[in-house]
């Protein structure tokens, strides 16, 4: 079916103009894709369509991409939030058996249906703000069976909700209790799980948490080699709490993205630029953990490294369910411009997932777009606690109205 949407102000996020702005534009949707995008005055007068709608001057942007989440898990960590307010650090809580291990226990105890129901509720919150594509990482099962079922729940979300879901295996998130003191043995074991995850169609990429409280660069590289052998792209939780040289290591393997990056070095930036890796900045975690070291935004700009923004939704360090709030935080905390932040949740967010067919309004792209009750996209970066999302289309189908 061919539907023409007319009389819109388009922020296409194309590179031709600031914001890819078209003041009086139109979109032609043909099935799941955009067949034409441009100024209304350039429409073919003989164009044949099945349906036509006027958007009455509304703002339209690409569908939002949340390129880093941990959406599938059991329980919560509200008690740890209180501990941190009393002075305990993230590292202290993790080393005392809290943190990821706390969520591990709750996740293993939860049924598949309970995991799905809680994750679906979270996903709907993000969708209500215009998210049409999301990455979901595993990492709270940390056994072959539990990692597989968390990935399967993520796949089910994509099948049952009008949301495109990309799944990432993050078994190298923490060392589970049964491997206490045997991190190398655990790395050997989780590498053995990967072929089965691939064979079951559960995984699109592989990630590792590389830091002094998690996995070493040498252990990370072993996981990357295994992923490379299976043809899986890699990503990395890098330089969040210390500089382990993880970004440069990930870049050697052509990483789609390196994420967090508060302690990123100049060498890491140069390696990421050469590899084309995206810097995924996570202001929610920075804010929630009350960090003080900013990621090197200006150096990333000068180095030509594309910047993406994501929620990092997880129960321990970023329990937000608002990508719009992350727009504001990226500007206020990291000093991104509103356009940089917007590109971070559209075209660069898609790039961080290896997806070239979304995050931008142009002919041939997926028909993922959002209609907003706003004059300009900078308003969503300016305001917080406000959701002006009016309509959402994913693959040409209206999902939120």
pLDDT by residue (tens digit) across 361-381? 999 999 999 999 999 999 999
All residues at 6 or more sequence positions from 22 whose CB lies less than 8 Å from its CB, including other chains: 9, 10, 12, 37, 38, 39
Q: What is the DSSP string of 102-127?
A: HHHHHHHHS-HHHHHHHHHHHHHHHH
| Burial class (CB within 10 angstroms; exposed 0-12, middle 13-18, buried 19+) of 285 | buried
Phi, psi of 49, rounded to the nearest 5 degrees: -135, 160
Of 68, 59, 195, the C-alpha closest to 133 is 68
Q: What is the mean pLDDT of residues 312-334?
A: 97
- More confident of the two residues 46 and 123: 123
pLDDT above 80 for 96 = no
Q: Are 309 and 324 in contact (CB under 8 A)?
A: no
Confidence grade of residue 110 (pLDDT, cut at 50, 70, 90): very high
Q: Are 38 and 28 in contact (CB under 8 A)?
A: no
Three-state DSSP at 7 gives: strand
- The pLDDT score that the predictor gives to residue 81 is 87
pLDDT above 80 for 182 = yes
Confidence grade of residue 38 (pLDDT, cut at 50, 70, 90): very high
Q: Write the CATH number of the domain with boundaries 64-351.
A: 3.20.20.140
- The pLDDT score that the predictor gives to residue 113 is 98
Domain definitions of the chain by residue range = 2-62+359-400, 64-351
Q: Write the CATH number of the domain with boundaries 2-62+359-400.
A: 2.30.40.10
């Amino acid at each position: 079916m061919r539907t023409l949407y007319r009389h819109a102000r388009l922020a296409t996020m194309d590179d031709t103009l600031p914001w890819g702005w078209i003041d009086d534009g139109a979109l032609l949707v043909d099935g799941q894709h955009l067949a034409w995008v441009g100024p209304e005055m350039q429409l073919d007068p003989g164009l044949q369509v099945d349906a036509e709608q006027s958007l009455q001057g509304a703002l339209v942007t690409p569908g939002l991409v949340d390129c880093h989440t941990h959406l599938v898990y059991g329980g919560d960590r509200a008690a740890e939030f209180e501990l941190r307010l009393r002075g305990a650090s993230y590292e202290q809580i993790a080393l005392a058996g809290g943190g990821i291990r706390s969520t591990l226990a709750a996740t293993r105890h939860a049924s598949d249906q309970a995991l799905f129901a809680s994750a679906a509720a979270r996903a709907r919150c993000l969708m209500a703000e215009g998210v049409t594509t999301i990455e979901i990482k595993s990492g709270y099962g940390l056994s072959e069976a539990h990692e597989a079922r968390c990935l399967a729940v993520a796949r089910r979300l994509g099948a049952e909700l009008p949301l495109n879901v990309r799944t990432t295996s993050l078994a190298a998130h923490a060392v589970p209790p049964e491997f206490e003191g045997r991190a190398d043995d655990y790395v050997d074991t989780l590498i053995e799980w990967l072929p089965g995850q691939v064979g079951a169609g559960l995984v699109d990429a592989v990630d590792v948490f590389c830091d002094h409280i998690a996995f070493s660069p040498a252990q990370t590289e072993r996981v990357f080699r295994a992923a490379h052998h299976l043809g899986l792209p890699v990503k990395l939780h890098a330089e969040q709490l210390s500089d382990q040289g993880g970004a440069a290591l990930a870049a050697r393997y052509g990483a789609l993205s390196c994420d967090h990056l508060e302690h990123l070095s100049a060498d890491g930036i140069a390696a990421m630029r050469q590899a084309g890796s995206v810097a995924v900045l996570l202001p929610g975690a920075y804010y929630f953990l009350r960090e003080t070291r900013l990621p090197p935004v200006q150096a990333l700009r000068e180095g030509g490294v594309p910047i993406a923004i994501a929620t990092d939704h997880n129960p321990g360090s970023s329990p937000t369910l608002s990508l719009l709030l992350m727009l504001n935080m990226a500007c206020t905390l990291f000093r991104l411009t509103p356009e940089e932040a917007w590109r971070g949740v559209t075209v660069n967010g898609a790039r961080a997932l290896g997806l070239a067919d979304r995050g931008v309004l142009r002919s041939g792209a997926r028909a993922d777009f959002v209609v907003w009750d706003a004059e300009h996209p900078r308003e969503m970066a300016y305001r917080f606690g406000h959701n002006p999302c009016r309509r959402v289309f994913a693959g040409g189908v209206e999902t939120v109205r």
